[in-house]
Amino acid sequence: MTSTQTTRRTVLTSVAAAAAFGLATGTAEAQTPGRPPRGRQIGILLYDGFSLLDPTGPAELLSRLPDTTVTMIAEHRGPVRTDTKDVAVQADRSVAEVDRLDVLLVPGAGNRGTVGAMRNPVLLDWIRRIDRHTTWTTSVCTGALILGAAGLLRERATTYWASASYLETTFGVRYVPERYVRDGKIITAAGVSAGIDLALYLASLLEGEEIARGIQLAVEYDPRPPFDAGNAATASPELKELALRLLAESQV
């Protein structure tokens, strides 16, 4: 192991070699700080009790699209806390400040957060208003139930696996167990991590397949989970019960 002192000196003298990261430092530094005021506007709705990966997975990928701004939006500006209360993401805009979006994404949450959003007329009215002008209105996980509560689901959708029958009985839409389901301009994604697959698909719709593939490599999305337990259709009842118990006990 290199000694700490040597390592530090090496680092300090090697900053000039930062291009070795493979990232074109010159290009990045030549940019004007801050995003252009125009360009594609992608908005992600945060609300109390959302699940962290639902908005942040898609935001990571979609923020790599050319000439695109991703904005976290909530009923009020400020930090919005997740279902476990472990983490807060900043909402940079309130819904009152956002009239138009090219793409809207509604993430999912645990029970408390999902029901809270489904019963919040300010959020539902805003979702409906924004949807009038979007190119794509999208959801991840139980975000589909919130789109349903806003009256925006059509014939087919996906959602979190454990919410499938609730989706069908409450909104009269057919649950399709795919990673994402497009029905008109509404695209719903399955649970939590499916937002990443949705984001790649959305990137291809917005900028074509080559850019989407570039983004996939940019985030090294070559998934190799150490286990093969993420599919509810093949999971045992015991594993489903364990998954739901882990969720319930981690949520506050």
Amino acid at 121: P
- Is 39 labeled as catalytic in the residue annotation? no
For residue 45, the 8-state DSSP code is E
Tell me the window of 3-11, 96-104, 130-138 that interacts with its own copies (CB under 8 A). 3-11
- Using CB under 8 A, which residues numbered 79 to 108 contact its own copies? 79, 82, 84-90, 92
Bridge partners for 103 per DSSP: 42, 136
What is the C-alpha to C-alpha distance for residues 144 and 160, in angstroms, rounded to an integer? 8
String of b and e for 144-172 (b: at least 16 CB within 10 Å)?
bbbbbbbebbeebbbbbbebbebbeeebe
Nearest distance in Å: CB 30, its own copies: 10
How many residues appear in the chain?
A: 252
Token representation of residue 81: 């806390």
Per-position x/- string for 55-84, each x denoting binding to its own copies as judged by CB under 8 A, each - no binding: -xx-xxx-xxxx--xxxx------x--x-x
Size of the site for its own copies (CB under 8 A): 130
Cα dihedral 128, 131, 136, 138 in deg (nearest 10): -20
For residue 46, the 8-state DSSP code is -
- Using CB under 8 A, which residues numbered 107 to 166 contact its own copies? 110-112, 114-115, 118-119, 121, 124, 128, 141-142, 145, 148-154, 160-163, 165-166
Instruction: Using CB under 8 A, pick the residue from 73, 104, 200, 206 that binds its own copies.
Output: 200
Cβ nearer to its own copies, comparing 90 with 96: 90
Amino acid at 41: Q
With binding defined as CB under 8 A, does residue 211 bind its own copies? yes
What is the C-alpha to C-alpha distance for residues 246 and 249, in angstroms, rounded to an integer? 5
Instruction: Using CB under 8 A, pick the residue from 76, 100, 133, 240 that binds its own copies.
Output: 240
Nearest distance in Å: CB 186, its own copies: 10
Tell me the window of 94-102, 130-138, 233-241 that interacts with its own copies (CB under 8 A). 233-241
Cβ nearer to its own copies, comparing 95 with 216: 216
Nearest distance in Å: CB 125, its own copies: 9
Token representation of residue 132: 């009038």
Tell me the window of 96-104, 131-139, 169-177 that interacts with its own copies (CB under 8 A). 169-177
Mapped onto helix, strand or coil, the DSSP state of residue 119 is coil
With binding defined as CB under 8 A, does residue 31 bind its own copies? yes
With binding defined as CB under 8 A, does residue 187 bind its own copies? no
Amino acid at 70: V
Nearest to 107 by CA among 7, 2, 190: 190
With binding defined as CB under 8 A, does residue 222 bind its own copies? yes
Q: Which of 80, 104, 127, 141 is catalytic?
A: 141
Token representation of residue 9: 């000196």
Catalytic annotation, residues: 141
